[in-house]
Structure 1
Amino acid sequence: MKNTYFTPGPAELYPTFYQHLQRALDEQIGSISHRSQRFRDIYQFADEQLRVLLSIPKSHGIFFTGSASEVWERIILNCVEHESFHLVNGSFSQKFYDYANALQKHAHLQEKPFGEGFDAADIDVPEYAELVCLTHNETSSGVQMRTSEIHKLKRKYPKKLFCVDIVSSAPYPDLDFNLIDSAFFSVQKAFGMPAGLGVWISNQSCLEKAEYLLQNDALTIGAHHTLPTLWKHYKTFETPATPNVLYIYLLGKIAEDFNRIGIDTIRKQTEEKARMLYKFLETSADYEPFVKQERHRSQTVVVANTTKPSPDVIANAKAANMIVGSGYGKLKESQIRIANFPAVSIEQTELLIDQLKK
């Protein structure tokens, strides 16, 4: 019997992935030149589908990288001369902050305990911070920052560049890209693909900052995948170096599938499954939601405390062909993480809840 993966990445493959992959192999997509018209058509198609799905305006370019983690480095190098500001409440927002320090920027930090979330009213952005770095969904702890709070914060600081990590939540968040300068995600989570492709969305304001920094001989904006180089090639739907052509093709097809369903429907289904999971956790004697504030609970990665050792819970679920994620870091033995991505249906979520009840 085939497993169902409720892991937060790599995650369950989207049901149509298999047929799209077979067609790509039949058409030898993996062998075509990235300087060919065929590839330009593939890039343009993926671009068009993502624009519809995420409501991305023409002011923003859509670029492909090796991973989402790469974008941490790219955005810091291309958009920060001296100072960045980071909201940290988990392991991945911490890593974004760590990258800025590693690149020798003055990185400001506002921190909350693991499992707690941010509201705009909590946040004071330092005067000289050029880039505000936010994590919409903290994969490690199951905390989500509401997009309305992100938008509210941007309106409070309109002259600062805002970059949002949507790695484990896209396409769920309804970000207003007229306010958000940059965002990024990877495909091995809610888009239901294997790992190996990052997507970086960035606007002209970020490009202008990178071009300004490029004029400073004392600074580097990187030697690979710089924003000016990405934008130059993007104008003709090309890439500076040989990209993952196969995955760009597959991403375009899955984004098209999402658009057929409709983003509103996907969001409603995500919220319905999240309600089911949290209701179970709140009424169970064996589990409880890790995130206490309901408004901060993730809709896409549900984290639960377990009364039994979580490896036992995970092993029992695995015996029923359901693969659940373990807690992150120090909480590996006392928590489980349940991905709530489009590849998993309401019916499969019900079966998982029945299994956890046992």
Structure 2
Amino acid sequence: MSLDHRLPDELEELRRTVEAFAHDVVAPQIGEYYEQHAFPYPIVREMGRMGLFGLPFPEEYGGMGGDYLALGIALEELARVDSSVAITLEAGVSLGAMPLYLFGTEEQKREWLPKLCTGEVLGAFGLTEPDGGSDAGGTRTTAVRDGDSWVINGSKCFITNSGTDLTGLVTVTAVTGRKPDGRPEISAIIVPSGTPGFTVAAPYSKVGWNASDTRELSFTDVRVPLANLVGEEGRGYAQFLRILDEGRIAIAALATGLAQGCVDESVKYARERHAFGKPIGSNQAIQFKLADMEMRAYTARLAWRDAASRMVRGERFKKEAALAKLYSSEIAVTNAREATQIHGGYGFMNEYPVARMWRDSKILEIGEGTSEVQRMLIARELGVG
């Protein structure tokens, strides 16, 4: 039996379409947004018109009828040029819309998904807290029943897409009760933007992803209807674990794109840059760096596509998602460092894309589960954790 890793025609067409969009639309203008720490509204709206935010959702909800493999392909092609744009799509789909699609009521889906799939509205997922970090089970935000409302108090940090002009809702995890053993029961609740008591802080000053929106959120006696509960009460922790498993595939695809973008830019530079009377690409030291960079990106692509394929087939994919996320994020950092080295002094200048890639790469080892957490998950899947 032979394995065929070629993409089906429809996915190859999607890849080419997003590749052209990234190079023709994103690349010429994203640098200015990045340096100004500004959200690229025209680019994001065009992504919405292309249907990218609806890729893995059924047509009945306004989606494109694709799957997570299609989403990953789009994320990889975008991240080859810019990660701020890619993470805006990833968070909008995996964290903003997917919880509603997987766990929401039919009424919630009908109300929100059509707008989320077209990019008319962006959603966010309020999970991480200032004192929590990787301990997402240590949620302190509370939601208490009061008549026909939930009353929410607490705060969240590092929340992507939470404060743009397009943001329509944040799905918030909160403690809604206690189990018999005293452990918290965590639920997920929709908080629409503009709800009284829901405060969105100014954007963070970040090392990278400077053209994406990331903020701290606070909730002071925020009232929303009981009907805003997403899924079963007390099942929010289990729900977000599934969301994170799937999101790791998306982050792995994004990281692969960044790693491949480092190869693309470095090959171009190695051909054009002359030193001592010849292109620097003629030096074996540079050739070996480029070969190793390509090897890493190639292997990372196989890893995330394998995890996505398992997910699409309905097979268990937790270990494969963690493996893909761990490997791709770490090689993205390595490729970004090597690309900067190949570019020399120019690699330290923000006018060159590799400088942006270098700044954007580190967060990939942290977001949606740190490298340490991925190793814990893999060990557990091996039966030793």
* TM-score bin, normalised by smaller chain: under 0.3
Q: Which protein is richer in helix relative to its size?
A: 2
TM-score where L is the length of structure 2: 0.25
Give the TM-score, by structure 1 length. Answer: 0.27
| Larger RCO (alpha carbons 8 Å, 6+ apart) | 1
